[in-house]
């Protein structure tokens, strides 16, 4: 582990790879490459590198795991990142920085866990071949919510299958055949996608593909009985490559690392499963903040409603006011106070969990948002805000109204801000919204939703529709919210009032 210090002498910057490693790191790297591949990782993205692979680094450092990782990208566009990883022999630095319980943490940890790089679109046979390895034990993935989805694919086993669950189904089928359905050949499958009950969902899709492809019933039974699809919840803010500071970090590290991965010190992984599974992947034994739990729901609810809810809320309000990063919004006297009010007075009180524990978590979340070293872009968080708002904030809005008989003021303002943010027009295939000061900003969301909102706003601006009608239409759009929000007394009027105030500004 290196500690980032201030000014060191400028060094030459060879590319980070095994040839540029110092002796102590080289021996660590060589030891790792001698381990058999025990983990197949589907996903070359930032999150896994700053979370799971970092954890594997901790296991390796403590001598608790004698297995390496084969990494593969879930879609063709990931090939460039995979090649970059390969050029660096799978080595990179996790830059872990922030303030935790008042203590400043600033570390650059060299991560060395990958021993194999497989592009399934070019090396399909190698990919499938790995399924026959007796040492392989775990599959981990993060392919975003869009990746963990059913996508029909016709039976064509000789060609790379596009979707992740499709690939996984064929991979498991090859394994089932290679080990003649032996019960011990089952794998532990750990999806990290932020999808509720991600393990159950993945298993469901795998079985659907098995059905589509007429795979034998005993295979389906083997999938269900001898493979573990674990539901889990991940929590760590990983912002990826720290563009603004890359040069100075490389200078301090003395190498050129194109895969620097920035993350906060906080992390939590709650996995629904028997604590005995820690024997298979000794995360708890390594002292990591990992919990094998019987019921994941409280963790999921707490994190999605508080952390992700606050993110979605502050992204909508912050972007409209011309801010770029999470920290800027939370630090702002007026907007920051509103974010705190939303979390402490609107979100926390309606969660059916221990209030003291929730408040502790909420305080921690605010501290994490204030991390001075992390540049967390509001535009990244705001991507697909409509569906995020539906899952992360609407349930709170409804519970609050039911419990207190009035609307939560900040959440209502956030919903109005979101509607205002989506006053978009199309330009070269992109949707451009307007901040309150009239400046443009790109809005990224489902194109059909964006088109509908664009049309409504255009009709208002051309005087063909009243603003109140737009509000009525948007709140009543079941495709957006899965329900009619106009049924919530007073919501339409409150949103109207906010929109008019914004326009007056
Ligand atoms: N970055 C974080 O702080 C953080 C924290 C917790 C959870 N997450 C989850 O991670 C996801 C983003 O990952 P990231 O930060 O590593 O971003 P990233 O862009 O670095 O990686 C995204 C990964 O998902 C794959 N992917 C994207 N769309 C896909 C699709 N349609 N089908 C298959 N694969 C697809 C990409 O190829 C890549 O491997 C989010 O959806 C979020 O749910 C991120
Ligand atoms: O990753 P998304 O786009 O689903 O949501 C944006 C953020 O809320 C999210 O990435 C959090 O930072 C993360 O969930 C923290 O664990």
What CATH number has the domain bearing residue 209?
3.40.50.720
- When pLDDT is averaged across residues 227-255 and rounded to a whole number, the result is 95
Give rounded-to-5 percent helix, strand, coil for the chain. Answer: 50, 15, 30
Ligand 1 pocket test, pick from 42, 44, 45, 92 with the greatest ligand atom count within 8 Å of Cβ, gives 45
Question: Encoding tokens for residue 445?
Answer: 């969301």
Q: Are residues 350 and 438 in the same domain?
A: yes
CA angle 384-385-387, nearest 5°? 75
Closest ligand to the CA of 53: 1
User: Which residue, 293, 314, 335, sits at the end of a domain?
Assistant: 293
164 phi/psi in degrees, rounded to 5: -65, -50
* 194 Cβ inside 6 Å of ligand 1: yes
- Residue 116 confidence (pLDDT) above 50: yes
Per-residue pLDDT at 5 exceeds 60:
no
For residue 30, tell me if it sits in a domain. no
Query: What's the pLDDT at 6?
Result: 42
- Residue 14 Cα to ligand 2 middle (Å): 34
- The pLDDT score that the predictor gives to residue 103 is 87
Average pLDDT, whole number, for the chain?
A: 95
Q: Which two tokens stand for residue 197?
A: 């009950």
Contact 210, 341 (CB under 8 A): no
Q: Are 278 and 300 in contact (CB under 8 A)?
A: no
Residues with CB under 6 A from ligand 2: 194, 235-237, 307-308, 311, 381, 383
Q: Is residue 121 part of a domain?
A: yes
Q: Is residue 48 part of a domain?
A: yes
> What pLDDT, on a 0 to 100 scale, did the predictor assign at position 23?
86
Average the pLDDT over 26-46 and give the result. Answer: 95
Beta pairing partners, 291: 270
Q: Is the pLDDT of residue 33 over 70?
A: yes
* Shortest-distance atom of ligand 1 to CA 146: 31
Q: In terms of Cα–Cα distance, which of 5, 62, 52 is closest to 28?
A: 62
Binning pLDDT at 50, 70 and 90, where does residue 8 land? very low
Report how far ligand 1's centroid is from the alpha carbon of 45 (Å).
Answer: 6
Q: Which of 293, 309, 324 is the last residue of a domain?
A: 293
322 is a domain residue: yes
If one counts the domains in the chain, the total is 2
Are both 229 and 325 inside the same structural domain? Answer: no
Residue 3, pLDDT score? 43
- Check if the interface score ipTM surpasses 0.85: yes
Q: Where are the alpha helices (DSSP H) in 179-216?
A: 198-212
Using the predicted structure, report yes or no on whether residue 10 has a pLDDT greater than 70: no
**Of the candidates 251, 181, 190, which has an alpha carbon nearest to the alpha carbon of residue 215?**
181
The residue out of 262, 293, 324 marking a domain boundary is 293
- Atom 18 (ligand 1) nearest CA: 45
Q: What is the mean pLDDT of residues 86-93?
A: 98
- Do 356 and 286 share a structural domain? no
Taking the C-alpha atoms of residue 73 and residue 82, their distance in angstroms, rounded to an integer, is: 7
Q: Please state the atom number of ligand 2 nearest to the C-alpha of residue 234.
A: 16
Strand 261-263 relative to strand 238-240, pairing? antiparallel
3-state secondary structure of 258: coil
pLDDT at 295 exceeding the cut of 50: yes
Percent of the chain, pLDDT > 90? 92
Query: 303: Cβ–Cβ under 8 A, 6 or more apart, which residues?
Result: 233, 235, 268
Give me the pLDDT at residue 504, please.
Answer: 84
Residue 163 belongs to domain spanning: 38-293
- Of the listed ligands, the closest to the CA of 46 is 1
195: CA distance to ligand 2 center in Å? 12
* 366 shares a domain with 277: no
Distance CA 239, CA 292 (A): 26
Q: Which of 99-108, 201-210, 223-232, 408-417 has the lowest mean pLDDT?
A: 99-108
Do residues 314 and 256 both lie within one domain? no
183 in the same domain as 45: yes
With cut-offs at 50, 70 and 90, classify the pLDDT of residue 85: very high
Asked if the model's pLDDT at residue 9 lies above 60, the reply is no
Residue 321 lies in a domain: yes
Q: What is the CATH number of the domain that holds 419?
A: 1.10.1040.10
Q: Tell me the pLDDT band of 505, cut-offs 50, 70 and 90.
A: confident
* Cross-strand bridge partners of residue 104: 99
The Cα 119–Cα 73 span in angstroms is 6
- Structure tokens of 186? 């089952």
Ligand nearest to the CA of 392: 2
Are 404 and 390 within one domain? yes
Tens of pLDDT, residues 169-204? 999 999 999 999 999 999 999 999 999 999 999 999
311-352: pLDDT as tens digits: 999 999 999 999 999 999 999 999 999 999 999 999 999 999
Residue nearest atom 8 of ligand 2, based on CA coordinates: 308
Is 33 a member of any domain? no
Residues 352 and 326 in one domain: yes
Judgement on whether residues 92 and 230 belong to the same structural domain of the protein:
yes
Q: Answer whether 176's CB lies under 8 Å from 222's CB.
A: yes
Statement: residue 138 has pLDDT above 90: yes
Domain assignment present for 223 = yes
pLDDT at residue 1 above 90? no
Q: Is the CB of 164 under 6 A from ligand 1?
A: yes
Q: Are 110 and 22 in contact (CB under 8 A)?
A: no
Domain check: are 84 and 103 in the same one? yes
Is residue 193 in a domain? yes
Query: CB of 142 closer than 6 A to ligand 1?
Result: yes
**For residues 51-69, average pLDDT:** 97
> Is residue 144 lining ligand 1, measured as CB closer than 6 Å?
yes
Tell whether the model's pLDDT for residue 229 goes beyond 60.
yes
Do 87 and 140 fall within a single domain?
yes
* Nearest ligand, CA 41: 1
pLDDT value at 460 more than 80: yes
Q: Are residues 289 and 303 in the same domain?
A: no
């Amino acid at each position: 582990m290196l500690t980032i210090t201030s000014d060191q002498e400028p060094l030459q910057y060879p590319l980070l790879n095994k040839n540029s490693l110092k002796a102590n790191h080289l021996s660590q790297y060589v030891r790792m490459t001698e381990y058999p591949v025990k983990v197949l990782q589907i996903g070359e993205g930032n999150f896994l590198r700053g979370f799971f692979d970092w954890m594997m680094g901790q296991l390796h450092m403590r001598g608790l795991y004698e297995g390496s990782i084969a990494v593969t990208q879930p879609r063709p566009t990931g090939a460039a990142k995979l090649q970059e990883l390969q050029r660096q022999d799978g080595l990179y630095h996790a830059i872990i920085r922030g303030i935790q319980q008042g203590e400043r943490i600033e570390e650059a940890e060299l991560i060395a866990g990958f021993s194999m790089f497989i592009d399934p679109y070019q090396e399909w046979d190698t990919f499938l071949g790995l399924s026959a390895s007796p040492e392989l034990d775990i599959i981990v993935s993060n392919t975003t919510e869009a990746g963990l989805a059913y996508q029909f694919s016709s039976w064509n086993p000789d060609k790379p299958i596009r979707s992740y669950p499709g690939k996984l189904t064929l991979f498991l089928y090859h394994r089932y055949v290679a080990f003649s359905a032996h019960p011990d050949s089952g794998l532990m499958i750990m999806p990290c996608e932020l999808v509720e009950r991600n393990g159950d969902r993945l298993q469901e899709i795998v079985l659907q593909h098995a059905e589509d492809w007429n795979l034998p019933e005993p295979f389906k039974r083997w999938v269900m009985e001898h493979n573990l699809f674990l539901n889990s919840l991940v929590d760590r803010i990983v912002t990826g490559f720290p563009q603004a500071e890359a040069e100075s970090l490389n200078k301090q590290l003395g190498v050129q690392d194109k895969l620097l991965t920035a993350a906060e010190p906080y992390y939590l992984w709650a996995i629904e499963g028997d604590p005995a599974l820690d024997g298979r992947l000794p995360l708890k034994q390594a002292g990591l903040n990992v919990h094998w739990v019987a019921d994941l729901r409280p963790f999921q609810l707490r994190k999605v409603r508080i952390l992700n809810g606050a993110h979605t809320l502050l992204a909508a309000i912050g972007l409209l006011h011309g801010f770029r990063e999470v920290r800027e919004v939370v630090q702002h006297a007026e907007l920051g106070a509103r974010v705190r009010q939303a979390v402490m007075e609107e979100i926390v009180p309606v969660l059916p969990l221990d209030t003291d524990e929730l408040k502790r978590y909420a305080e921690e979340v605010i501290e994490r948002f204030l991390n001075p070293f992390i540049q967390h872009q509001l535009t990244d968080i705001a991507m697909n805000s409509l569906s995020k708002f539906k899952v992360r904030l609407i349930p709170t809005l409804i519970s609050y109204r039911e419990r207190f008989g009035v609307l939560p003021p900040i959440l209502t303002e956030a919903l109005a801000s979101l509607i205002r943010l989506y006053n978009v027009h199309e330009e070269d295939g992109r949707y451009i919204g307007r901040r309150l000061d009239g400046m443009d900003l790109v809005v990224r969301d489902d194109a059909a939703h964006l088109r509908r909102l664009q049309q409504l706003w255009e009709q208002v601006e051309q005087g063909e529709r009243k603003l109140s009608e737009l509000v009525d239409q948007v709140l009543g759009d079941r495709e957006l919210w899965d329900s009619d929000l106009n049924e919530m007394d007073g919501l339409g009027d409150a949103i109207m009032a906010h929109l008019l105030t914004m326009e007056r500004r």
